[in-house]
A = this chain, B = another copy of it.
Amino acid sequence: MTTQEVANRLVTLCREGKNMEAMKELYDTNITSLEMAGAPNPEVKGIEAVTEKSNQWYAMVDEFHGSEISEPIVAGNHFTCTMKMDVTFKDANRVQMEEVAVYTVNNGKITQEQFFYELPPQS
């Protein structure tokens, strides 16, 4: 698949809430997942650890109220999109999250994901 095709497929699956299926289908075994410096798990490597990180996140969610994923834009072997989510966590906090996501594609598989968002102020 080209970078554009991988981008379209990722966005389609994520819009259907099939994020875990997207990882299984599109992520390389040696995927690197990067969060903001200062966030938990700022760098996780390997499909098993990255899947586990996502599972842990979903386990904290009580209810999804909605999400919005932009059309992807592509340059070379990278693509980017924005992701917005309205979520209530099990601790009863309702949060509107928004982030820029950047994906690296090699040989038709996503080899890196990196997320950019505002960190909560230091307490």
Tell me the A residues contacting B by CB distance below 8 Å.
Answer: 70, 73-84, 98-100, 102, 104, 116-118
Contacts and interface: CB of A to CB of B under 8 A. Distances in A.
Contact of A78 (B75, B78, B116): B116
Given A100-B102, A102-B102, A118 B82 contact: no
| Number of copies of this kind of chain in the complex | 2
Q: Which of A100, A104, A118 counts the most B-chain CB atoms under 10 A from its CB?
A: A100
A90 B30 CA distance: 38
A117 B83 contact: no
Given A73-B81, A80-B82, A116 B100 contact: no
Contacts of A75: 82-84, 98-100, 116-117
